[in-house]
Amino acid sequence: MPEKLTAEQEAQRATWQYRCIQRLRSNETLPGAILLAVLDKSYRVQPPRVGREGEIGPDGTLYAPYQDKGGQLHPQMPLCHIDDLIMAFRRLADELKLDDKDRTALFQATRQWVARDARLHKNFAGEPIPTKLN
């Protein structure tokens, strides 16, 4: 017989965060592992897991600390191209029929997780534009 959920558990399962994690199968998929890191929940799962912040390289490759299934830590693992992650999260939002508020929250959290973006150009004086995305 299925376990009866409390009202608090039911409310938690209705959140966009829970629904997204479930759809992406937690850390069983790369987008799921990245989402757990974006939501600062990767420490709760067994490896593989992604670190607490990512970095976008000059060519758009997304790098982050990564712990593989064997427990080995890779300090700056190339994960995917940022455009591929954006498309995966857009498809996810479409599949789950997230409303505008929840879509915005998903992408806002993702932007905050990206600590540096090396794709950014220099200003007119030739100085690098600050790369902390907030």
How does the average pLDDT of the chain come out, rounded? 89
129 inside domain: no
Mean pLDDT of all residues in 6-27: 91
pLDDT higher than 60, residue 104: yes
* 3 pLDDT higher than 80: no
- In terms of pTM, does the model score above 0.75? yes
- Report the number of distinct structural domains present in the chain: 1
Query: What is the residue range of 90's domain?
Result: 8-116
Is 58 among the domain residues?
yes
How do strand 61-67 and strand 49-50 relate by DSSP bridges? antiparallel
Residue 57 lies in a domain: yes
127 occurs within a structural domain: no
- In this prediction, residues 58-64 reach a mean pLDDT of 94
Residue 40 lies in a domain: yes
Percent of the chain with pLDDT over 70: 87
In a domain, 123, yes or no: no
